[in-house]
Structure 1
Amino acid sequence: MRLGALLDDPELRLRLLAGAERLDREVRQTITTDLLDPSRFLSGGELVLTGLMWWQHAGDTERFVATIADAGVAGLVVGAAGVDGLPDELVPACERHGVPLFEVPVDFNFAVITEHVVLALAAERRLPFPAGADLASGLAAVAAELGAVCRVLAPTGRLVAGPATDLGRTLARHCLSGEPLPTHTLMPSAAPLTSWFVAVDGDGERWSASQRRLVERLVELVAAQRTAWMSAVSMSGVAGDDALVLASPDADVLAELAAVLADDIRLVCLDDLTYAFVPALGRTLAQAAAELTDALRVLTHGLGSAQLAVGLSSEGTPEAADAYRLASHRAGSATLALDTELTSHRSLLAVVPDEVRTMFAQRLLGPVYAYDLEHRSSLTETLRVFLECNGSWNLTAERLHVHVNTLRYRLRRVEELTGRDLGRFADRVDFWVALV
């Protein structure tokens, strides 16, 4: 459908701000985002809907508009509900980069635009089910045409629509990695990590050209339905007293992870993080973490070199944010941290950059390291064991199999080399932190 058709519909309440000469562009789907750089979710032809939450600093407008322009989007729709008016640079940036720009009133729901586009695209493509049909009905109609079972799955392996299966995660792994699966034909959208995909039993190589076009159209409709779902969870108002809270910067991926735990979820963007509120439904934090860990293992197959970090809390958004920061400093492409892990000094150290920790240890213990290297001694290990034994001379000497006098000599040498006093609690803490 054309951009101009959207502008002509008074129900959508669109006001054109830039790009009047480009209203003949075709809209392939809608995507709602508040990411400053949503390029990895764009493949061209999207109508981008944004509440401008990415606008935080000077230069953000130019970066955002340039990014979506380079991706070949059809246009941009903005609503200023979450900010104080539109950025002054927005209209000039859109004119400069050739991006048609529309504004909607602050009380307008983006889901109305998404639904309108979904229905219009379905009608244009003449799918074998009525425009606005639910996915179950659409899948049934396509399955009848193909003579095969069809399903819609999320990138975590969650079943969105279609007959139940135990192969959800297996299918998702193959779809994300691009590996063929002889027993199924997997049809992802342009951004499989943040989109639903169609899985059809059997070998798609045997489909006729018309059957393949039919499935491709279904994939497009599924992508549009997923966009509508994303808009709905971003606008919903559910969150009970027993809600679990997930935190991560990527709203699309976070929504998929939250949906693993429950259907009834709510997304909220605050500062640079998105929070998903999910009913606990009787789960403990550990049980929810186990389910999310399984889902994250699947998503790793589509991350490539990127990292996905998620924080989980049963307390609230500040705790979830702290857990996210802890997870973001862990090794691995997909990491999860719980707020219950924030009660140890190790969790505090985990969020300190490696270079800072290395510099601290070198400045404090550098002379000790050098002495050990030159004299082939073991002052560093002696200090470590002494601290692990809570400063007990006898226990330390016993563990090291040395006389107490030998131990006292070694530790006195450590004090001389560092200028610190092991009898002072603060100095012991510094030594301990340097050795962790």
Structure 2
Amino acid sequence: MFTLRTLVEDPSLELRVLVPGPDGALDEPVAWVHNTELPDPSRYVRHRELVLTNGLWADRVAPAEFVANVRRADAAGIVFGLRQETPVTPPELVEACRDARVPLLEISPAVPFTAISEKVAALYTEERQSALVGMVRRGDALATAISRGAGASGVLQVLRREHELPLAVVDRMGRPLAIAGADLDAGALRAVATGLTHRPPPLELDLGSAGRASLFLVGAVGDVDAALVCLRPVHELSRLEQDALEQAARFLSLEVAKQQAVQAIEMRFASELLEMVLSGGARAAEVPGRLRAFGVDPDGPLAVWALAFAGAEATLPGLAEVVGEFFAAEGVPAVVAAGSQDVVTVLSWRGPEHPLAERLVAAVHDRFADRRPVVGLGGTAQGSASLREPLVRSREVCRTLRRTAPGPAVRAYADLGTYRLLLGMQNADTLRVLTETVLTPIREHDAARGGDLEKTLRAYLDHDGHWAATATALHVHVNTLRNRLAKIADLTGRDVNRTPDRVDLFLALEAADLL
């Protein structure tokens, strides 16, 4: 954009500054020029336009009122044209501009207003031509960066050659794809990810300690998949800077689409690997080659893990990518496959599994703060030919953990009792039938009479059927305990002194906890 100083420094216009206005006013951008003799031009003058006038309004309104009207329109300033009738700019106008802090310029009677209009048009044309040339050159540089595999980082490098802006590219999972001159902590990354889930996403965000940032949306396959983040609010960006950022965001869409295609291929290959392991037969012979393609040694020890969210029947978009990033950061070769209910990982691993699995849980929780991740460890296979059993075990343990009340987030197959695995294999309807058949009479009795039969039954089973220990824990007499257990037998038809009946009662309570 051109400025008042640009016009003043052109000798052909013969402009003289009478009132410079506030500090820096002469260097503020001017949008256009507006010739008017209306007493109140505020309805027609646009923001940052330069008002050209000969003062023909002077017989209808005082200079102070005219200046106030111009100021209300937020004009860039006033140019007063001298003529034969007014060879000197009226002192009242000069004083009014000084009081209102509005820049006032005087133009020689020998120079018509059309000279200013022509100069402004030429400046505007030159500016637009320069911007278009710059956009073409920038487009060539961006295309070259993308074609040579420079990725999102290459795009930011091209931008920063022209504009020293703090920039980052962040995807909808809160992952920084590229950073140049910006400092974004975990909170800021989460804020960007949350903003991208909104429909429509915001164009500005408060990123806490990083300040207010502008978002230029990056779409891949019909959706917003990332944002080009500039750590400046929109009003602090010039039009040229905004145009450059918008252009870069369009090129980033190509890069994000390419990355998504690669990830989709990798995920499909990983899912096919699980199918090969489970199907056995001829397809099992392909497993070693598929593992090698992911950098996993098929002849070494292989651990199988299954990860999901507690209480959820499905995974979330991006979960497999987060798991893959974790193992890449840990330097652990792994194949990560996303299923509908869990994410399975086959990894080369020697040594204890729990510490690494706990770190994985923490990493996933950082990305999905409102979810509780759980990991089932299926054990270790000595080579790819033995993968099927640990794969099945890991998923069964994970399924059990998904349905279990808050407890350890990481469990191995050996950590779970057989009864838990058996219950974990049942669907919710089966568990509900078991619970209702056995526990409903007890719960209805407790609800109607304010009783403690269910609490008593749990305590009795927790103390392995020891009468004295149970009575002490409940703070009741042993006879009271006997009466309560007898009532439970009457209501359910199951006697706690008989092993099959005690098993039924125990499984019903465990099923209730799973539900």
Give the TM-score band, short-chain normalised.
0.5 to 0.7
Are positions 1:257 and 2:323 aligned together? yes
Q: How many pairs were matched up?
A: 308
How far, CA to CA, are the matches of 2:350 and 2:247 in structure 1? 39
TM-score, with structure 1 as normaliser: 0.56
| Distance 1:375-1:138 versus aligned 2 partners, 3 A rule | closer
Identity of aligned residues (%): 20
Paired residue type of 2:228? V
How far, CA to CA, are the matches of 1:124 and 1:167 in structure 2? 26
1:27-65 CA deviation, whole Å, 9 max, x = no partner?
A: xxxxxxxxxxxxxxxxxxxxxxxxxxxxxxxxxxxxxxx
Structure number with greater Rg is: 2
2:412 equivalent in structure 1: 340
SS at match of 1:212: helix
2:477 equivalent in structure 1: 403
Q: In structure 2, which of residues 233, 244, 248 is the aligned counterpart of residue 203 of structure 1?
A: 233
Structure 2 unaligned runs (5+)?
Answer: 1-135, 196-201, 270-292, 309-314, 380-389, 511-515
How far, CA to CA, are the matches of 1:123 and 1:243 in structure 2? 52
1:395: how far off? Answer: 1.2
| Distance 1:368-1:128 versus aligned 2 partners, 3 A rule | closer
| Distance 1:215-1:168 versus aligned 2 partners, 3 A rule | farther
Q: In structure 2, which of residues 257, 275, 283 is the aligned counterpart of residue 224 of structure 1?
A: 257
2:150 equivalent in structure 1: 134
SS at match of 2:412: helix
Within 5 A, what are the aligned runs for 1:142-157?
142-157=159-174
1:411: how far off? Answer: 1.5
Which has the higher relative contact order, 1 or 2, with Cα contacts under 8 A spaced 6 or more apart? 1
1:142: how far off? Answer: 1.9
1:98-152 CA deviation, whole Å, 9 max, x = no partner?
A: xxxxxxxxxxxxxxxxxxxxxxxx9996453512331233321123333123333
Are positions 1:293 and 2:362 aligned together? yes
Question: RMSD across aligned C-alpha pairs, in angstroms?
Answer: 4.3
1:414 equivalent in structure 2: 488
1:43-91 CA deviation, whole Å, 9 max, x = no partner?
A: xxxxxxxxxxxxxxxxxxxxxxxxxxxxxxxxxxxxxxxxxxxxxxxxx
| Distance 1:289-1:398 versus aligned 2 partners, 3 A rule | closer
Contact 1:311–1:322 (Cα < 8 Å) also in 2: no
| Distance 1:126-1:300 versus aligned 2 partners, 3 A rule | farther
Contact 2:304–2:394 (Cα < 8 Å) also in 1: no
Paired residue type of 1:199? V
Within 5 A, what are the aligned runs for 1:22-421?
126-128=140-142, 130=144, 131-135=147-151, 136-162=153-179, 167-178=184-195, 180-181=205-206, 182-190=211-219, 195-205=225-235, 206-208=237-239, 209-231=242-264, 233-234=266-267, 236-240=293-297, 241=301, 245-246=305-306, 252-262=318-328, 265-268=334-337, 275-277=344-346, 284-299=353-368, 311=375, 313=377, 315=379, 316-326=390-400, 328-329=402-403, 338-340=410-412, 343-344=416-417, 345=419, 349=423, 352-421=426-495
Name the stretch that deviates more: 283-292 or 256-265.
283-292
1:392: how far off? Answer: 0.6
| Distance 1:356-1:376 versus aligned 2 partners, 3 A rule | same
Structure 1 unaligned runs (5+)?
Answer: 1-121, 302-306
Paired residue type of 1:184? A
